[in-house]
Amino acid sequence: MDMNVARIPGPTQQPRPVVALVAHDRRKDEMVEWVLYNKGTLSECSLYATRTTGLTLESAVQQPIQLLLSGPMGGDAQLGALIAEGRIDVVIFFWDPLMPQPHDVDVKALLRLAVLHDVPIACNRSSADYLISSPLFGIPEKYREDRSRGGPEFVPWARTP
């Protein structure tokens, strides 16, 4: 892949869950362990990752991972845009709460967009385990349909008075 071009997922009309994987530097080893533990389930998913996380995971999972930009180079913002467009079903984001990030604003925006667009997001191994083991994990179509309605009608608490 060209270092300056990211492969962007198309509209999610596939029955496979579309999972985004992101890990800050000090949590990448934990992400590799988690991905290896869940390799069977993840093999049934389409995977996307920010560049450095994806490159770290590719040899471990031995399945294609679509690479976005590196987080500090706009990958977190790029992932946020994909969430807003309804192209991501689940986000596994092992972020480091103890280290300031040069792109903290993008990290916060990514978290905000996941909540706003009702995309499940796991920020630690325990919540990631709950998400991936849910019987709802393998059937993203219903949630895609709900999220595709978008706007204030879908998120009534976000309506402006």
Active site residues: 76
- Contact present, 44 and 18 (Cβ < 8 Å): no
Of 57, 56, 131, 71, whose CA–CA distance to 103 is shortest?
71
E strand or H helix that includes residue 21 = strand 18-23
Phi, psi values for residue 53, rounded to 5°:
-60, -45
Amino acid in position 158 = A
Backbone dihedral region for residue 21 (phi beyond 0: left; psi -120 to 50: alpha; all else: beta): beta
Cα gap 123→56, rounded to integer Å: 18
Phi, psi values for residue 124, rounded to 5°:
-150, 170
Cα gap 103→121, rounded to integer Å: 19
